[in-house]
A and B are shown apart, each in its own frame.
Chain A
Amino acid sequence: MAGIEIRNLRIEYRIPNGEELFTAVNDVSLSVREGEFVSIVGSSGCGKSTLLLSVAGLVKVARGSIAIDERIVTGPGPDRAVVFQDASLLPWRTVLGNVRFGLEMQRWTGGDYTERAMSMIRLVGLGRFADYHPHQLSGGMRQRANIARALAVDPEVLLMDEPFGALDAQTREIMGEELLRIWEKNKKTALFVTHDIDEAIFLSDKIVVMGRNPGHIKEVIEVDLPRPRKPEILDTPRFTEFRRRLRAHLAADMAGMHLVEEVA
């Protein structure tokens, strides 16, 4: 298990057909402790996904550094696994085949691939569906398979980019509880990007609020609600207080956006 150290991170990219460099993320520094579940929230365009992808090693860094357990990140690696919003399951493989995929790519040496994959599949609740193809599964089930695939390689850090964003509200709630159930088993360090405030508060130990133009950290909020978290917690006053704080941040962002549009 490992902690994440992000120091003075700056990520730029070129707009296609454009002249300038666009700064997605500017001077971001963040510490994540071992075993912490951290959510990153913010309105569209604040760079939260870009930040996550740079920790995954899929996006180049212009300045600053990212270190996992003191090792600098230069590209993808076996110490991290990503759960994308799109399940990205190979349509021609079964659930079992898909969960084995990560193990195959990393030439995993920790034991029999099928055994490992099946234990993860059972963990996410898809035990009966191991031989199904993705097109036979619902959106929620596909995401479970996606999560199983990421867990199979036993990463030190779990990176999740709005994994429940494409699901309907009820499935999202269920998946959130499922995710915590699975996460409680080995409490991996987790970075979780989301739009959904309630989801962020419910799941995390810490919430990083990002702002845009350019992407930066506005505030880091410690969520000291007791674990294990139950759905009833959403109605408690302390939860509501966190919700209020986050709503205020987003409202400020909205106002800022309107101002910019009027001026322009």
Chain B
Amino acid sequence: MMMDVFMRRQALILGTFSLVGIIVLWQVAVASGAINPFFISTPAAVWEEFLVQLGDGSLLTNIAASLYSFALALGLAVAVGIGLGILAGWFRDAEAALEPFIWFKYSAPTVAFYPLFIAWLGYGTPTIVAIAFLFALTPIYANTLSGIKNVDRDLKRVATSFGGRPYDIFFRIALPGSVPVIVAGLRLGVGRALTGVVVAELFGANAGLGYSIAYYAQMLQTTQMMVSIVVIILLGVAMTQALSFVEKQTDAWRTSHDT
């Protein structure tokens, strides 16, 4: 028994170990002169700079700006993605009509059209929201479509045999049944929205984490850049973990179905 507890803890211990180890390795590699601090700075310097940026409010301003764009983009993506997904999932014709455009959107790197958005919407938040919206839209739409379309046939048959009409089947079977898939799509969408915001900010913005990276890049100040980079990574991990948790909760009734 002790061995098994150890096994599960082992994953946690080694995981923490490796993260701490990386930070230590980082510090040592730079301090010993093996890597020029210009390139990746040191954990100590990054931590100090983090406190500086926190103190003078710049970090929080940037985080707020990015999160604002993120929220707008995600909200739009959820509304449009789920709305269109339900439409396309339920009505074959809608799916057929939308399919070429979705397929195109899927193959085309959205960022390739970035200059087009700049031309239409100018530099700043509208373009950032537009790009992030498009980034996040694909998984949300695709998963919603799949969830509604692939309603469990057996369940549908049972409902119909009890006299259920399409209206009933949609609200009582299709919609509830697709919740796990949709939530999975949301999890993917969140990551993509964050990516979209940050990448768009790299190019043209006046605030935000991506903007901060590009700004300090121009002055070759890697320490300042590292602060934003680390914050973005941590944000991404935190959000994905939070959503994975939500996913597991909505999935709870599914586990017995799978076995």
Where the two chains meet, the residues of A that have a C-beta atom closer than 8 Å to any C-beta of B are 14, 16-19
Report the nearest A residue to B3, measured CB to CB: A14
Q: Which residue of B lies closest to A17 (CB)?
A: B4
When chains A and B are docked, how far (Å) is the Cα of A5 from the Cα of B181?
Answer: 56
Report Cα–Cα, A14/B4, bound state, in Å.
10
B42 to chain A, nearest CB (A): 43
CA distance A14 to B1 in the complex (A): 9
Interface hits, B1-43 → A, CB 8 Å: 1, 3-4
A16 to B3, CA, bound (A): 10
Smallest distance from the beta carbon of A120 to chain B beta carbons, Å?
37
- Size of the chain B interface, CB-CB below 8 angstroms: 3
**Closest B residue by C-beta to A19:** B1
Which B residues between 73 and 123 are near A, CB-CB below 8 angstroms?
A: none
Assembled-state Cα–Cα distance A19/B1 (Å): 5
Shortest C-beta distance, B188 to chain A (Å), equals 30
Interface residues of B (CB under 8 A from A): 1, 3-4
Distance between B25 CB and nearest chain A CB, rounded to angstroms: 34
Q: Is chain A's interface secondary structure helix, strand, loop, or mixed overall?
A: loop
B93 to chain A, nearest CB (A): 35
Determine the chain B residues whose CB is within 8 A of the CB of A19 once the complex forms: 1
A17 to B3, CA, bound (A): 9
CB neighbours of A14 from chain B (8 A): 3
Minimum CB–CB distance from B12 to chain A (whole Å) comes to 16
Q: How far is the CB of B213 from chain A (nearest CB, A)?
A: 45
In chain B, what residue has the closest Cβ to A16? B4
Q: Which residues of B contact A16 (CB under 8 A)?
A: 4
**A180–chain B nearest beta-carbon distance, Å:** 36
B113 to chain A, nearest CB (A): 41
- How far, in angstroms, from A207 to B87 measured CA to CA in the complex? 63
Shortest C-beta distance, B70 to chain A (Å), equals 40
7 residue pairs bridging A and B, Cβ less than 8 Å apart: A14-B3, A16-B4, A17-B1, A17-B4, A18-B1, A18-B4, A19-B1
CB distance from B91 to the nearest CB of A (A): 35
The 7 closest A-B pairs by CB, nearest first: A19-B1, A17-B4, A16-B4, A18-B1, A18-B4, A14-B3, A17-B1
CA distance A18 to B1 in the complex (A): 5
Q: Which residues of A contact B3 (CB under 8 A)?
A: 14
Q: Inside 8 A of A17's CB, which chain B residues have their CB?
A: 1, 4
Alpha-carbon gap, A18 to B3, bound state (A)? 10
Q: Within the complex, what minimum Cβ distance (angstroms) separates B138 from chain A?
A: 32
For A18, give the chain B residue with the smallest CB separation. Answer: B1
What is the CB-to-nearest-CB distance from A140 to chain B, in angstroms, rounded to a whole number? 27
Query: Which A residue sits closest to B4, measured CB to CB?
Result: A17
Q: Which residue of A lies closest to B1 (CB)?
A: A19
The CA of A239 and the CA of B4, in the complex, are separated in Å by 49
Nearest CB of chain A from residue B5's CB, rounded to whole Å:
8
Residues on B with C-beta less than 8 A from A18 are 1, 4
CB distance from B10 to the nearest CB of A (A): 14
A18 nearest CB across to chain B (Å): 7
* Cβ-closest chain A residue relative to B5: A17
What is the distance, in angstroms, from A45's C-beta to the closest C-beta of chain B?
Answer: 19
A74 to B4, CA, bound (A): 27
Shortest distance in angstroms between B9's beta carbon and chain A's nearest beta carbon? 13
B1 CB contacts on chain A under 8 angstroms: 17-19
Q: Tell me, in angstroms, the Cα distance from A17 to B1 when the chains sit together.
A: 6
Bound-state Cα–Cα, A171 to B1, Å: 44
Q: Give the distance in Å from the alpha carbon of A19 to the alpha carbon of B3 in the complex.
A: 9
B2 to chain A, nearest CB (A): 9
CB-CB nearest in chain B for A20? B1
| Chain B proximity of A19: nearest CB distance (Å) | 4
